[in-house]
Structure 1
């Protein structure tokens, strides 16, 4: 009781030089706490272009890669067998061409002397042309097989970080199977918000992200129109987001509406005897009222305290000099 009397005397003395503030209901943003998940803007699988066995794997999870960098090498023994077969056919065709060209040369000499007919000479020329065409066809087939062998190199489709490598050296893969997952293009936050708050959110809203690196703000850039399982998907742009761990969850506060509250400056509150007091200007002079303060609310960078009970709109609150 003595402490309360002393407090009232102190407040009365300081009120003479303090300023007063008439309080009125102020709009306060209502926040909803959810979790956001860090996602890569682009997630592209590096796929095998041929089937075979992985003979070389040069990356693992967490490695950073450049676009076009070789991640793995796939070999198919059948392709090498085809190369060997085509080489043998080419060697035989070239030998046939040598013989056919020799016969054509002799046929030219015999034709000049009138020993053979023009029809026979044309047949010799046709044999040379057919064998030459066959050699060109075999060479084209060999180029196709060589291209298939070169496509055994699995290349990074984009610059980024390797998110997953589901296979290992020695694994058998089919054409089109994913060898590694690449995440690139930066990161963003993907939110899953209860559908009851869908009407309270709008693109461009500011959100608050809290974590080990401190508190920062972000901007809601996209709301997905499809609601699944009672959850709304939303994307948030955050400057300087830590992208070391894709898929990491971080706490996020979303603005989901506003409400009216009575706010007083922090300097207007005094605590004594386990109670909180606010000095109010009355016709009879300053009066210390017991109040129940709520959460701290920042407005224009200045901290205010919400008063749950003890004050009403129109009261003139005495603020203490700092």
Structure 2
């Protein structure tokens, strides 16, 4: 006897389509501008005395520490003046020794009653006068020696030598520049049109479009100062960016700066299909779904921007 064949038919449940509600959001409108690598402080190593540069110890591009000797200035008049002051001090020392001997003799003669008290007083006065003259001569000599030491032109801060204005053999006056030194703290200096003056502020983030700068430079930075002076229709701002220390001062870098915010519509990229060169999305309506053409803009990590074709509140169905 044949048993009836029982067939089981499994029906797959229909896939549930995901939906997405269109909601506007605020996005930063970025402007591409050029910035230059600048040092926070640019200092000048200057002479402290007049004279001739007999030794120049740095060249453009050298790294220096604060207090390093940049150059040596010698004033040929200082050596004779120091020698004269030394001779005068030696002469006063000899006179002071003689005056002290006279004071001792006067004190001994006074004890034996041979000389009056006035003789002892005169000897004491002579010793005091010579001691003062010797102290003054020594101080004058110390001043000349210190001036001679000030012939060493010192680096005012640690950094890199940008320019050497005075070569070896130059005759210098006090205060004249010898070398320009950029401190070892670098930043990016931005120049923006004045219409963006109130759109940027301290703490705003910038994007460094710096493929030419290499991997050591951070991709983003932060504006640390906005200068209040507008010159020639431009406003200047400084931005801190890590990794700028090994680049040339004055090197130009392209950066993107957020100048204002605007309302945008961003949808996930997988809700968009492309057919015949046009971009479509499936729009959910009361009568069902229908495909509409959209104009797409810039794509980001959040999705793709829709420039035209959708409105706030529209609901999309994933194709």
Name the counterpart of 1:261. 264
Name the counterpart of 1:56. 55
After superposition, give the CA deviation of every residue in 1:110-156 in whole Å (9 maximum; x if it has no partner): 76777766555655554454444333322211111001011111122
After superposition, give the CA deviation of every residue in 1:217-249 in whole Å (9 maximum; x if it has no partner): 222222222322222222222233344322222
Displacement of 1:255 after TM fit?
1.0
| Contact 1:111–1:117 (8 Å) recurs in 2 | yes
RMSD, aligned CA: 3.1
| Contact 1:277–1:288 (8 Å) recurs in 2 | no
Aligned partners of 2:92 and 2:130: how far apart in 1? 6
- What does residue range 105-184 of structure 1 map to in structure 2 within 5 Å? 119=118, 122-123=121-122, 126-184=125-183
Tell me whether 1:198 sits opposite 2:201 in the alignment.
no
Larger CA deviation: 263-272 vs 156-165: 263-272
Larger CA deviation: 136-145 vs 82-91: 82-91
Match of 2:240 among 230, 237, 240: 237
| Contact 2:284–2:316 (8 Å) recurs in 1 | no
The number of equivalent residue pairs is 301
Displacement of 1:97 after TM fit?
4.5
Aligned partners of 1:69 and 1:91: how far apart in 2? 35
- What does residue range 21-32 of structure 1 map to in structure 2 within 5 Å? 21-32=20-31
Name the counterpart of 1:276. 278
Aligned partners of 1:68 and 1:106: how far apart in 2? 54
Aligned partners of 2:251 and 2:186: how far apart in 1? 11
Displacement of 1:76 after TM fit?
0.6
| Contact 2:110–2:117 (8 Å) recurs in 1 | yes
Match of 2:220 among 217, 222, 225: 217
- Identify unmatched segments of 5+ residues in structure 2: 1-13
Aligned partners of 1:107 and 1:24: how far apart in 2? 111
Q: 1:311 to 1:102 in 2, by over 3 A?
A: closer
Larger CA deviation: 151-160 vs 309-318: 309-318
| Contact 1:189–1:238 (8 Å) recurs in 2 | yes
Aligned partners of 2:42 and 2:259: how far apart in 1? 31
Tell me whether 1:248 sits opposite 2:251 in the alignment.
yes
Q: Which has the higher helix share?
A: 1
Match of 1:228 among 228, 231, 234: 231
Q: Which has the higher strand share?
A: 1
Larger CA deviation: 257-266 vs 76-85: 257-266
TM norm structure 2:
0.79
